[in-house]
Amino acid sequence: MDNPVAAEHIRHVTPDEAAKAAARRRRAGEESSLSVTRRARKIQRILAETYPYAVAELDFDDAWQLLVATVLSAQTTDVRVNSVTPILFATYPGPQELAEAEPESVQEIVRPLGFYRSKARSIQALANRVVDEYNGEVPGKLKDLITLPGVGRKTANVVLGNAFGVPGVTVDTHFGRLARRLGWTTQEDPVKVEKDVTALFPPKVWTELSHELIYHGRRICHSRKPACGVCPIADLCPSYGEGPTDPQVARKLLAYELKPGREELLDRYMNGATRRELRAEGHTLSA
């Protein structure tokens, strides 16, 4: 059968191959920890081939911008945050300027994100602390980052991994769901998920694995109705069958640049275009 996903680089697993792999796993019984590790690493390699353009979905130029964008992203989408931050950083380029800004002006800028009064308060409190205690520079250590107002372990790991090059996994809702579906953990608590998953991989892939899993969760392995029938890791996933396994039905569930009709956008990503470039060309980049 032809690959139902119109993208040559995406691994194609037929329903027959996925069903046979599931039957083999059932016969083999409980999986050894060595086998879980091998399977996990193979999955990561396939996801890296599937999403070679996976990066943090928040736009930023430096650690400060990423820190603010991540705090703003609570209870809203990254796409929406990316639509607001260019104005915010053009108006208040650094922590000093944001700390000194009129609260009402900051609120006005972040209003489209919802909870705008508390979000404006949070980022101004953050700016104050970074100015007062860290001389206007975002600290590059987990123990310092998590003392900043509004910054938990997840935000700190995002900043460390993407702005400081310190390996870390970011356990958001997609990451946790996928790690459980893939049989890498049975834990719900993000810190325990992080511990289980980091034990399966060398640190050098932790940050990219976070992006790849989050991309996969947004595009294919949705929380409701994962698109199992077109999933490139279907034969390696113990949860195969949680969503439709018919490739033609599953194909309709693909999102973002994998959505049918978005082949041009996917080609551009595969050829190295960045989100900012694509947006400048008029692509909305929302699902």
Q: Is 52 annotated as a binding residue?
A: no
Q: Smallest distance from the beta carbon of 224 to ligand SF4, in angstroms?
A: 11
Residues 219-258 that bind ligand SF4 (CB under 6 A): 220-221, 226-228, 231, 233-234, 237, 239-240, 242-243
Nearer to ligand SF4, 57 or 212 (CB): 212
Positions annotated as catalytic residues are 154, 172
**Max CA separation in the chain (angstroms):** 65
Instruction: Please work out the total of residues on this chain that contact ligand SF4, with binding judged by CB under 6 A.
Output: 14
Q: Is 237 annotated as a binding residue?
A: yes
Residue 129: which residues within 8 A CB-CB, separation 6 or more? 148, 149
Residue 190: which residues within 8 A CB-CB, separation 6 or more? 153, 154, 171, 176
165: which 2 tokens? 């090059």
Nearer to ligand SF4, 150 or 229 (CB): 229
- Cα–Cα distance, 50 to 172 (Å, whole number): 20
Q: Specify burial of residue 172 (Cβ count, 10 A radius: 0-12, 13-18, 19+).
A: middle
Build a one-symbol-per-residue string for 117-146: x at contacts with ligand SF4 by CB under 6 A, - elsewhere: ------------------------------
Nearer to ligand SF4, 145 or 227 (CB): 227
- Binding of ligand SF4 at residue 213 (CB under 6 A)? no
- Binding of ligand SF4 at residue 151 (CB under 6 A)? no
Nearer to ligand SF4, 139 or 243 (CB): 243
User: Footprint of ligand SF4 on this chain (CB under 6 A)?
Assistant: 181, 220-221, 226-228, 231, 233-234, 237, 239-240, 242-243
